[in-house]
Every structure is written in structure tokens, then in C-alpha cells.
Amino acid sequence: MSRQIVAARVPYFVSALYRQRLNLRPDKPLLVAMTRTVSACCEQCAARGVLPKMLLRQAQTLAPDAILVRPDLILEKEAINVLLEQVAAKITPLVEYATGDHANCVYAAQSGVFYIDLEHLNDRQAVQLVSQMQCLLSSLLGNAIVHAGLSDSKFRAYAQTHDANASFAALPIDLLPLDSALSERLHLLGLTTVGAFAALPTDAVYRQLGKYGLFLYQLARGLDLRPVRPFKPQIVERVNYTSDYPIHERYAFDAVLDMLSNELSARLSKRGCMGRSIHVAMTDGNGRYRERRMTMQRELSDATFIRKALRLLVDKFSPFTGGVCEVVVTLTDIVPFAGFQLSLFDYQAERQARLIEAVEKLAARYGREAFTRPIQVDGYNRLIEHRFEFQPFLTV
Amino acid sequence: MKGNLNAELARLQERWGEKVIRKSEWSTQPQEHPRIATHWTRLNDALGIGGIPRSVLTECTGSGTAGLTTFGLRLIAQAQFENSSDTTVWIDTSCSFDAEYATACGVAVERLLIVRGVRDIPDMLYTFVTSKGVGLLVCDVRGGLSDRSVPKPEMLAMSRITTALTASDCALVLLSDPGSQPVYSQAALRLHFTHERWLRRGRDLGGYRVQVHIARNRFIPVARRVAITVGLSTLGGEDDL
């Protein structure tokens, strides 16, 4: 039985998401923009000539009556996760959302593309599921129109949902996932469009560009045979604090951080988990939003360490002139709790003994001075080379 | 056509055994293999088994400031963290090991054995691997062991080492220059590190971005590229700059 992939394309996905969240009328134009540039827009704005990455000033000239919405990346990520979870629960866990680094995503400007692998279904069941999924996505996104296509390749399935798949050939070759060296090489060969690259003979591409070149060549010809990456819901722990009045004093803000870290620690210990990445988002009294993320070397769950990490992160922000109104702390990369294994058991001693035996053998051949171990002598010495000393391994 | 192919496959398998011929299939499930997780979650995901595999040879190549030393040190820190009984060895052919930076990368340096000034690297690797007393062996041969300096018998000795590795739970990681790839053709995993750009935090240099190209992976059939961030923070944290 051949593999079946459904690609569901939701045009103007991001704007549909904000429209639904903010309960806006469908006929009202909408612009999603940072301080200077437009990150997404709705269908009405696109019809007036607004494009992503356009300057906000230009976009507002074209669509003066448009409602301006600030992008909220956490909200977007959460909404995508909810959508994927609902689709995965209803149909299959083999669901993938086309992210920014995906090759096909460049063709799907402002659209959201979901791939679903229907490996164990026959053609008739798959076609039925396509219509079900269209209904499901439409209901989740309000009145958004969803196009869905079915094929044995991700690219072909996506192309069926697209209005102008013939125009792919004229697109620049840099839209394929090329590295700088390969891109330069293709440009030197005079290959500037996807169509020109796709017209080359297969054996020549393989001979000149190797296995990765052949993969790109398949993409250019509309064949994306990579499997659908199964959706894994991300487990996070999030706490937030909102104040009616902006907090200006550092000691008061530290007390808030302590409270949040205690809360996070309590939740983690209840679950028996540890987290590794910390994300802090803060909004100041002037409405300015700032965020920072830090990935720790080791997973942590203790309130003391979470507090220390939080303070370290907060210190990296530039000073808040208007005080802090809202703090959101998110802990990600959550894993089950694992304690340190102490050297209590015999096999560890055995292992160490085997290593010493091997080093003794080698030391007899190459000399004892070749096998050393760094020991901290004076950690605060002004000269770096005096802080550590290499001592012979066998005498330690 | 497909029916004929299946029938022919079945006939061959019946005559010569199931292993003689089979269809190649894309695996969507991550494979289970003993491994040491790297410091970077994205890289772990891309490797398919969640880290650097044990019992095989892993080769990492890259030019200067491509993050190879940091990668090796972080791997040692992770091995020491995951399993305290894992003994770790760093073979430093160029005598450039920096204990200060290793500590900043989270390595418990007092539990690390440093080997310097030994020319017969394959013989030493073989002794360490067969002793079954080492959990992670990082061999930094950049500048110290080029194609020219390695005589033929030593190249042959690499196959002896990879055979011995299969019987132990040691992970052998070679950090080498880009030109020395043909010497260690028996690597089950080959990663190529390329420096992409420097990352700045205000006026300071905060780190750099590195592209890791998984050129060969026995555990997953697809070549992949991952971008990772190497932070230069000495405070113990790794920032996603």
C-alpha cells in the first residue's frame, strides 16, 4: 500500500488566529506588526498590496483602516500546539506543522501548512479523512478556508492545495534549503530558478552535487519524500504574575521572582520532573514587551537554583524605566527527575581499577608524565596559567 | 509491477534467507541505542538516537572557531553528569587543553584524565578501549595527526579499534581537521562543524552560531543540518542568544 500524505493549507493562518482570539469582525482589515515591519496581514490587506516584511508606515498608507496587532509568539506557538493536539487526537499523531526552516514553507507565504501521514489507510478512507480534517480545521479557526490535498509526497500534496503551482518553476533557487557554498556554485553554473535546476539530468546532478544535491533536485521537481515528523506535544510549566501598579523597587521585584520560583519548584516536585530551559517575558509600565531565554547546563527543579537562574536572566535586561507590570516565567525541556548517582557500588570501583591498570600499562611504554589530571590550585589567581596544575594521574 | 517485485523479493528471501535482500524503509520512530546526550537539544533530536552513540566511532571535523573543543568538553560534562561511574579521557595531541574553559563548560576536571605527548595514538586508543574502564574517550587530533603524519599501519589499526569498540560501552569521539577524513573512514557518525556568524550582546561578544552537518549517520538515513549556538558565558549557563 502506498504512503498517503495530506497537506492542509490554511491561508492567512496567523491573521485568522488573531482575528479569532480578539473576536474581530471578518471584514475588518488586520495587520500583525512589530515596531517597524509587518510580520503578517489578512486577505483584505494583501489585496491592497500589503506584503510581509514591508515597513509598517507603508502598510498603513495602503490600509489606513487596518487594526494593528502586536505579534505574540507564545500565543502563536500555543495555538499551533492546541491545533496539532486536536488534529492528532482526532486523526493520527503523525502530524507536522511546516515551520520556517521547512523547504516548502517559503511557498506558503502567510499560510499554515499541516502534513498528515495516513500510512495505514487506503485511498477511500484517506479521501474521507481529508474532508473531515477540512471541517475540523475550519471549525477550530472560525471561518477560515482550508485547502487540502492528497499525494504520496509532501510537496505534491501541498502543490495540489496551492492556486498557482505552475509558478514554482519561476521562483528563485535560493528558496531551496541551500548552504552558502552550494548556492554560490549553482549561481556560478547559471542556475537561478527552481525550474532551471529541475530541468537538469539526474545523473549529472548526482555526479556534481552528491547526495544532498540529489535531495534538493527532488524538492525542485516536486518530490519531498521525507517522512512526516511526528508531533510531540511540548510539556511546559508556566507561572505568571500581574501587578495593578508597576513595580519599581528591586527588592519588591526580587520577592516576586522568589514567589514564582517557589511556585515552579513546587509544581515540578509534584510532577517528579526537572526543567532545563527558562524563558522570562516581562511587560513594563509603558507597555513594552521584553523576553529572554536561557538553557542551563543541567536540569533543575530546586527553588534556590531556579531563583538564581531567574535573577541571572533578569540582570541581563536593560533597566525598566516604567517599572514591571507583568512577569511570565516558562520552564521547558522538562524531563523526569533523575538524581546524581554516587560512587557507592562495586562496579564503579572495578571500572576505575581497570582504567588505572590500563594507564599503568601505557605509562610503562610512554612515560608517567604523559598521563595527567588537572587540579585547581588557586582559582582566583590573576594569571590564568597558575589557577590549575597538571598532576601525574597515577600518584593522585 | 509492484506485485512482481514483491513476489521476486519473497522468492529470493525464501531461497537465500531473510537478510539477503529487503526493502529500505524510512524509520519514523527514534532508534534505541546507548548514547551520551550532547548539550544541544536540537542536535540531539537531529541525531535520531538522542546523542552521541556509545560503542562506535564518531568523527567531528571543523576548522578553527567551529565549536569542536566546546562540543567535546560539553560532551564530557554531560557524560560525567549522566553517569558518575563514567571515566572520561581527553587525548590532547596539540597540548592546548584549557582547564579554565573546561571548568566553565561544566567539566569536573579532577575526574578527567588528560593524555599528552603520545605519538602512537591508535595503540593507546586500543588499550583504553579494550580495558573497558573508559566511558568516553575524546581524541583531539587537530594539527597533531594529519594524513601525512599517520603511517599506513596506524590507519589499519583504526579498524582494530572499531572492532574492539563494539564489545565495550565506550564512546570514541575524534575531533579532527576537515582534510583528515579518509583516515577514519570507519566512523558510524560523522559531523562537520562550520562557523556561521558571531553573536553579539550589545558591545560584547556573546557567542557564535555553528552549522552542524550530519554527513554520515548509521542510525538515520537522512543527511541533516542543524544550527546550534555556542555561548561564551563563563557563568555556567548557555544562552540562546
Report the sign of the C-alpha dihedral through residues A137, A126, B48, B61, in that order.
Answer: negative
Q: How many residues does chain B have?
A: 241
What is the residue-level pLDDT of chain A in tens, covering all 396 positions?
456 788 877 778 888 888 887 888 888 888 888 778 888 888 888 888 887 778 888 988 998 888 888 887 767 777 788 778 777 777 777 888 875 444 444 445 567 778 888 766 677 777 777 777 777 777 777 766 677 777 777 777 777 766 555 667 777 787 787 878 888 889 998 988 888 888 899 999 988 888 888 888 888 887 887 778 777 777 788 899 988 888 888 888 989 999 999 999 999 988 888 888 898 988 888 877 788 888 887 788 888 889 988 988 888 887 777 888 889 998 888 888 766 556 566 566 778 888 888 998 888 888 888 899 888 887 777 777 778 888 888 764
Report how far Cα A244 is from the mean position of its chain's Cα atoms.
33
- Which residues have a Cβ under 8 Å from the Cβ of B60 and sit 6 or more positions away? B68, B71, B72, B173, B174, B175, B176, B190, B191, B192, B193
Q: Is the model more confident about B153 or about B49? A: B49
A23 in B contact zone (CB under 8 Å): no
Closest residue of chain B to A388, computed from CA coordinates = B99
Residues of A in contact with B170 (CB under 8 A): none
Residues B75, B39 contacting (CB under 8 angstroms): yes
User: Mean pLDDT, to the nearest integer, of B111-139?
Assistant: 87
Cell numbers found for residue A375:
587540579
pLDDT over threshold 90, residue B40: no
Count Cβ atoms below 10 Å from residue A120 Cβ, excluding itself.
11
pLDDT at residue A293, as a whole number = 83
Most A CBs within 10 Å, among B113, B181, B217, to test the A interface: B113
Most B CBs within 10 Å, among A102, A359, A361, to test the B interface: A359
Most B CBs within 10 Å, among A102, A310, A362, to test the B interface: A362
pTM exceeding the 0.80 threshold for the entire prediction: no
pLDDT at residue A1, as a whole number = 46
Question: Is residue B148 very low, low, confident or very high in pLDDT (cuts 50, 70, 90)?
Answer: very low
Question: Is residue B237 very low, low, confident or very high in pLDDT (cuts 50, 70, 90)?
Answer: very low
3-class state of residue A229 by DSSP: coil
CA angle A230, A235, A240 (to 5 degrees): 145
Give the span between the Cα atoms of A17 and A141, in whole angstroms: 7
Q: Is the model more confident about B154 or about B132? A: B132
Residues of A in contact with B223 (CB under 8 A): 211-212, 215
- Between the alpha carbon of residue A218 and those of residues A9, A156, A163, A199, A271, the distances in Å are 21, 11, 21, 11, 46
Which residue has 573546561 as its cell numbers?
B102
Closest residue of chain A to B42, computed from CA coordinates = A333
- Which residues have a Cβ under 8 Å from the Cβ of A7 and sit 6 or more positions away? A113, A114, A115, A148, A149, A151, A154, A157, A158, A160, A161
The phi and psi torsions of A289 (rounded to 5 degrees) equal: -105, 130
pLDDT over threshold 80, residue B127: yes
CA angle A111, A114, A116 (to 5 degrees): 160
Q: Which amino acid is at B148?
A: R
B73 in A contact zone (CB under 8 Å): no
**Binary contact (B110, A375; C-beta < 8 A):** yes
B positions 138-157 inside 8 Å of A (CB): none
pLDDT over threshold 70, residue B102: yes
pLDDT at residue B180, as a whole number = 63
Count Cβ atoms below 10 Å from residue B61 Cβ, excluding itself.
24
Count Cβ atoms below 10 Å from residue A186 Cβ, excluding itself.
21
Cell numbers found for residue A188:
556560478
Residues B174, B118 contacting (CB under 8 angstroms): no
